[in-house]
Amino acid sequence: MSRTAQKNAGKERMLNLLSKLPAAQTAAPAPADCLDYNWLEPHCFNNDQLEKINIFAKTLEEKIKSRLKNYFGQNFKVEFDSATQFFCQQSDASENQPAGYCLGFSGETGSIFGVVDMPRDTAFAWTQQILGDTHAEQQQDVELSSLERSLLHDIATEVVNSITLAIPQGKIKPQGCITESSVAMKFTPGQEVCRLAFKFAIDGSEKQFAFGYLVLCEHITNVVLTPNAGKTTADPAKTRETIIRNLKNIKIPLSSILCRQVFSLGELLSLEADDIIVFDKKIGDSVDVLVAGKPSFSGMLAKNNKNFAVVIDKIKK
């Protein structure tokens, strides 16, 4: 067998052996770390923003408690419950709040961007507390009378005004009358809405009632989460005038150089009392006036009473 034939035979045996080896198992890639993202839930606020909203709601809690105490003349236990986000599915968002009564509110523009919602049992408890009939039993099918609606409007106004106390830089005011459900504000399907839920109990009672605020998320971002939201922008002209006025009051040192001379170190060391130093400036020559060490004016040396003075004759650029 020739050398070429032997080489080809050896190559065939090697390929035959390799073909009988089991194929190498490719390791399955490790699953990537990822978070489930629910596109059906709103994500207007991140965790840091939600924390700021919770802090604001705790401040609002104290303001509500104070307003209700002033109105009713007695203490109320008010507690912030939760802050939730949701997408409006219907124009009135009625599926996202308890059936009951509400009062819309707006900013200075007058455009309603939120409502105070009060379930029927809350509305009944508040109005009966004012009327003094605290032992009356609520009848679910009976609507509030005109008097009770008027009283509820006054109470809801106090709840709305609590927002202004919690956000001093913006004025929130009630709009319209007490209405049922959330017809005071027409939500657009797909809008992101935040609900701040509260619980309250009349002092001395263990029974708790609920109420809350429904607010468009974009307005919470503008008013609550923006540090300078609602603050009046300063007039640029007045700001410039104030800056110039303050600049004019800055104290700047002035000095006047009468004349100069240069000595060697040996000449300087040889000076004694009664020696005369001769300068090259003649009497009547102008002198420099320095502003913060920089020559800015020149003038003639003069006298004012017993003080030296300089009469400026030239302004240096």
User: Mind listing the pLDDT tens digit for each residue in 242-251?
Assistant: 888 888 888 8
Q: Where are the domain boundaries for CATH 3.40.1550.10 in the chain?
A: 47-134+145-223
User: Mind listing the pLDDT tens digit for each residue in 227-247?
Assistant: 554 445 567 788 888 888 888
Q: Where are the domain boundaries for CATH 2.30.330.10 in the chain?
A: 248-315
The Cα–Cα gap between 123 and 132 comes to 14
CATH class of the domain at 248-315: mainly beta
CA nearest 121: which of 100, 149, 150?
Answer: 100
Distances (CA, A) of 210 to 97, 100, 125: 11, 11, 11
Q: Give the pLDDT of the chain (317 residues) as one tens digit per residue.
A: 555 555 555 556 666 655 655 555 555 555 555 555 454 555 678 888 888 888 999 999 999 999 998 988 888 899 999 988 888 764 444 444 456 899 999 888 888 888 999 998 888 888 888 887 665 565 556 688 888 899 999 999 999 999 988 876 668 889 988 888 655 566 777 788 889 999 998 877 888 999 999 888 888 877 676 655 444 556 778 888 888 888 888 888 888 888 888 888 888 888 889 888 888 777 778 888 888 788 888 888 888 888 888 888 888 87
pLDDT attached to residue 159: 94
The SS3 assignment for 270 reads: coil
Q: C-alpha 188: how far from its chain's center?
A: 26
Cβ neighbours, 10 Å, residue 83:
19
The Cα–Cα gap between 198 and 196 comes to 7
User: Mind listing the pLDDT tens digit for each residue in 186-208?
Assistant: 677 778 888 999 999 887 788 89
The Cα–Cα gap between 254 and 296 comes to 10
pLDDT attached to residue 81: 93
pLDDT attached to residue 91: 40
pLDDT attached to residue 93: 46
Strand segments, DSSP code E, in the chain are 76-87, 100-106, 112-119, 173-180, 192-202, 209-216, 254-257, 287-291, 294-304, 307-315
pLDDT attached to residue 207: 87
The Cα–Cα gap between 45 and 51 comes to 10
- Is the pTM higher than 0.75? The answer reads no
CATH of domain 47-134+145-223: 3.40.1550.10
Bridging pattern class, strands 173-180 and 100-106:
antiparallel
